[in-house]
Amino acid sequence: MALNEEQLAAIEAQRAQCVGTRRATVPALEALLYTAVPVLDHGFVRAIDYMGDDAAVVQAARVSYGRGTRRVSEDGGLIRYLMRHRHTTPFEMCEIKFHVKLPIFVARQWIRHRSANVNEYSARYSILDREFYLPAAEHLAAQSASNRQGRGDVLQGVEAAEVLDLLRTDATRNYDHYVAMLNEGVDGAAVDPNRQGLARELARMNLTLNTYTQWYWKTDLHNLLHFLSLRADAHAQYEIRAYAEVMLAMVRAWVPMTCAAFEDYRMGAVTFSAGMLAAVRRMLAGEPVMQKDSGLSQREWAEMMAALGRAA
């Protein structure tokens, strides 16, 4: 991740600000505010604003006027109850805003989560930087033979080098053509005064999907946890998971009791269908149960057995 001197100065100026307030603040998250945490090769995540804390979740659940006299352990117990029984509204009382720099193909996957407010850097008005995502060697993998959405074995040797060279060459060439079509210098003047440049909104369509973009992404805690349950999962695509893991660490700092409950009841939990539960009950009763007489498909049976730590 490369931030220029102007960007670094702006971040330091933001971090130097300190304003008195009567609203709830969280020291652990305050310490992280505005800091750009590196992700991938040129990306980052910054938490730049938030509202609420664990106490706000509890307050909303009790519809009370203040923190009251209840012990922290009771607050933690209530949050765990809410999480365990999938009560969502109290978690919607907290919000957070991130500034994210990410490759366009990751952004297009991310935007599928339609429960946030998003404002993206506009290549209609500004010129995108010459920055592309190039995977590290350990993330150059072949298509999975068993999962249409997943990766298989890591590419090795000459094959890996050729793929990386193609990615770099294509991104560089297309960006060079993008700049040539714009015909626009740093000062906005034409590089070649004898011809007109193509409109920015048209020239951008030539860029590769590993070009970096940026956006502000604001969401409430409930929808953020849903995003993290999918994108910080081991089955998620590596590139978006890298961002989700950074954001999960920020959530731990912001709402530690809520995050602990989330990691117990969502991230570290599994869900059984009615058919799966019936099969498990038969097993616990001592009945030999096989996939063919379980009423489960082969995939569902394999998922259940994996969750139980047993061979399918």
For 83-96, b/e burial (b = at least 16 CB within 10 A) is beeebeebbbbbbb
As annotated, the active-site residues are 231
Percent of the chain with pLDDT over 70: 93
Among 95-99, 148-152, 158-162, 307-311, the range of highest mean pLDDT: 95-99
Percent of the chain with pLDDT over 90: 71
pLDDT of residue 137: 85
pLDDT reading at 68 higher than 60: no
Mean predicted confidence (pLDDT) in 9-17: 84
Lookup: tokens for 267: 């991230």
pLDDT of residue 1: 60
Alpha helices, DSSP H, located in the chain: 5-16, 27-30, 54-62, 72-84, 104-110, 157-182, 200-203, 221-231, 238-254, 256-262, 274-284, 298-307
- C-alpha 283: how far from chain center: 38
Mean predicted confidence (pLDDT) in 169-184: 94
Q: Where are the domains of the chain?
A: 1-127+212-269, 134-209, 274-307
Q: Mind listing the pLDDT tens digit for each residue in 93-141? A: 999 999 999 999 999 999 999 999 999 999 988 999 999 999 998 888 7
Averaged pLDDT of the chain: 90
Lookup: tokens for 216: 């502000």
Q: Mind listing the pLDDT tens digit for each residue in 202-224? A: 999 999 999 999 999 999 999 99
Rg of the chain over all Cα atoms, to the nearest angstrom: 24
pLDDT reading at 39 higher than 70: yes
pLDDT of residue 12: 86
How many other C-beta atoms are found inside a 10 Å radius of the C-beta of residue 64? 11
pLDDT reading at 148 higher than 70: no
The hierarchical CATH code for the domain 1-127+212-269 is 3.30.1360.170
pLDDT of residue 144: 62
3-state secondary structure at position 188: coil
